[in-house]
Amino acid sequence: SQTIHQWPATLVQPVGSPLSLECTVEGTSNPNLYWYRQAAGRGLQLLFYSVGIGQISSEVPQNLSASRPQDRQFILSSKKLLLSDSGFYLCAWSQGRRETQYFGPGTRLLVL
Amino acid sequence: SQQGEEDPQALSIQEGENATMNCSYKTSINNLQWYRQNSGRGLVHLILIRSNEREKHSGRLRVTLDTSKKSSSLLITASRAADTASYFCATDAVGNEKLTFGTGTRLTIIP
């Protein structure tokens, strides 16, 4: 069966510090991968998606970047965090662009 | 603006009652999906309904889709305390090729 992992679960970082969140998927190959951000009590905002290694599409201009160095690994990064980067970050995968998405447990990021 | 918007934003009902949540969207879709999110957790897929389907069932869940009104509803029958969560609809709009999530309905089941 397929599983998706995200770490860390919680992160508190100072403004201006770098960020690296990792997401890995097991039990499937060539998945579509997604990074979402969810503000408190709000819906999901799609940040990045990837249909293959090295292929990244950015949905909104921001302080963040994403990379996919391996088929089942998706990384969300920032060189310098802003206060507005605080939120709940969710990684998800799907087999096709229109199909069911399977979410990881999320990373809660607090930038102080 | 959001492609899918849920209504109501929040709903509180007594355990055992039925809960109905609605989702409206703006453009033609390929499919519509419903997800559940427990507080502080990831989303869990509930049901996918395609544009040529009108109704789907899964256990105590019933989803309807009215493409003429661009709306969908999620009915949870015989609610339980464990159904307390936020529920999101997500639409796969024609020509967009990615899911767009609504802002969710926060459902509270009172024991």
What is the model's pLDDT at position B98? 79
Task: Give the Cα separation of B3 and B10 in Å (integer).
Answer: 19
Domain carrying residue B99: 4-110
Q: Domain limits at A76?
A: 3-111
Of the candidates A19, A3, A2, the one whose C-alpha atom is nearest the C-alpha of residue A84 is A19
Structural domains in chain A (count) = 1
Q: Do B98 and A97 touch (CB under 8 A)?
A: yes
CA–chain centroid gap for B84, Å, is 14
Dihedral sign (CA B56, B82, B89, A78): negative
pLDDT given at position B94: 83
Strand residue runs (E) in B8-104? 10-14, 19-25, 29-37, 43-50, 55-58, 61-66, 71-76, 85-93, 99-101
| Phi, psi for A16 (deg, rounded to 5) | 90, -10
Q: Does A44 touch chain B (CB under 8 A)?
A: yes
Higher local confidence (pLDDT), B98 or A67: A67
Q: Does B96 touch chain A (CB under 8 A)?
A: no
B101: pLDDT strictly greater than 70:
yes
Q: Is B43 on the interface with A (CB under 8 A)?
A: yes
Per-residue pLDDT, A98: 79
Q: B32-78, pLDDT tens digit by residue?
A: 999 999 998 999 999 999 999 999 999 999 999 999 999 999 999 99
Burial (CB count <10 Å: 0-12, 13-18, 19+), residue A72: buried
User: What CATH number has the domain bearing residue A80?
Assistant: 2.60.40.10
Which residue in chain A has the smallest CA separation from B42? A105
Written as tens digits, the pLDDT of chain A (112 aa) is 889 999 999 999 999 999 999 999 999 999 999 999 998 777 899 999 999 999 999 887 678 999 999 999 999 999 999 999 999 999 999 998 778 999 999 999 999 9
Residue B3 has a pLDDT of 65
Q: Is the Cβ of B95 closer than 8 Å to some Cβ of chain A?
A: no
The count of domains in chain B is 1
Q: Which residue of A has its CA nearest to B2?
A: A43
pLDDT: which is higher, B30 or B97:
B30
CATH of the domain at B45: 2.60.40.10
**pLDDT tops 70 at residue B79:** yes
What pLDDT score was predicted for residue B1? 42
Q: B56: which chain A residues are within 8 Å (Cβ-Cβ)?
A: none
Site from B46, B48, B99 to mutate, A interface, most A CB atoms within 10 angstroms? B99
